[in-house]
């Protein structure tokens, strides 16, 4: 499928890491909670385990979001799957496991949900991770009308994804918007700019649209700011505030 400016089959609002901060990030429990608020698109982070299995995890180390310590890349998937990835958040989620990308993808597909998959490589594994995520996404979504969007701050990872699965839509992530953002998106064949919300302005959104790019932004938790961004023509907003920003919000 070719995802283009004229055909944007993704919801206007996506839940950040599953359900923002209301459940342990990057877990199936978070996805289920986000879905209970009506969300049909989820942003989440994917990286490689030490033995080459794609898992959901934001950090390069385990300490913040599991009961384990050390590098994600230093553990096999079997070891990661035995960790508690929910107890750090609250007792209600104690024992929630680290999920494999394939497991989450199957849940999304069974429920008709969309995905923004952030390629989040461990240091030194940028190209390897980008290619692995793209190939797995291509396999899991094979033959389906709406593939996931692949995004990354790593241009190396996104280029590897482009080479591995050129038909999948890509978005380049920016924390600060550089002067050459458009050229960098174009070089990677991106369909969207994905920028931190404070860096966006009405002229930036308009410039992206003139260039044939959609605009995604993260992480917007204020409903008034969300309305302003949609008034500027924003295409998809990523939020932690799944209990305050409606998944079907429209422009004023």
Give catalytic residue positions.
16, 58
Distance of CA 231 to the CA centre of its chain: 23
Determine the Cα–Cα distance for residues 25 and 18; give it in Å rounded to an integer. 6
- Dihedral angle, C-alpha 172, 178, 180, 181, nearest 10 °: 20
- Residues with Cβ within 8 Å of 239's Cβ and at least 6 positions away in sequence, in order, are 13, 14, 15, 16, 20, 219, 220, 221, 226, 245
If we measure between CA atoms, which residue out of 89, 87, 63 comes closest to residue 75? 63
Given a contact cutoff of 8 angstroms between Cβ atoms, the answer to whether 18 and 31 are in contact is: yes
Q: How far is CA 171 from CA 155, 178, 222, 236, in A?
A: 10, 15, 23, 12
Residue 170's DSSP bridge partners are 150
- Dihedral angle, C-alpha 48, 113, 234, 183, nearest 10 °: 40
């Amino acid at each position: 499928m070719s995802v283009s400016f004229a055909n944007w089959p993704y919801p206007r609002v996506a839940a950040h890491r599953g359900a923002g901060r209301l459940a342990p990030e990057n877990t199936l429990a978070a996805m289920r909670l986000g879905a209970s608020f009506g969300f049909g698109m989820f942003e989440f982070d994917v990286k490689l385990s030490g033995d080459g299995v794609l898992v959901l995890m934001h950090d390069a180390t385990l300490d913040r979001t599991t009961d384990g310590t050390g590098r994600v890349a230093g553990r096999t998937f079997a070891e990661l799957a035995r960790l508690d990835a929910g107890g750090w958040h609250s007792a209600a989620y104690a024992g929630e496991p680290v999920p494999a990308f394939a497991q989450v993808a199957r849940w999304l597909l069974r429920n008709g949900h969309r995905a923004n998959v952030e390629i989040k490589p461990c240091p030194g594994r940028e190209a390897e991770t980008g290619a692995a995520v793209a190939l797995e996404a291509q396999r899991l979504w094979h033959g389906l009308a709406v593939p996931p969007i692949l995004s990354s701050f790593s241009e190396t990872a996104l280029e590897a994804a482009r080479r591995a699965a050129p038909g999948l839509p890509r978005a380049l992530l920016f924390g600060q918007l550089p002067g050459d953002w458009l050229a960098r998106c174009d070089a990677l064949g991106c369909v969207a700019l994905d920028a931190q919300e404070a860096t966006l302005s009405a002229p930036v959104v308009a410039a992206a649209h003139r260039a044939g790019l959609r605009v995604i932004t993260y992480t917007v938790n204020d409903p008034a700011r969300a309305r302003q961004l949609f008034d500027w023509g924003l295409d998809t907003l990523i939020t932690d505030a799944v209990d305050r920003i409606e998944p079907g919000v429209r422009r004023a």
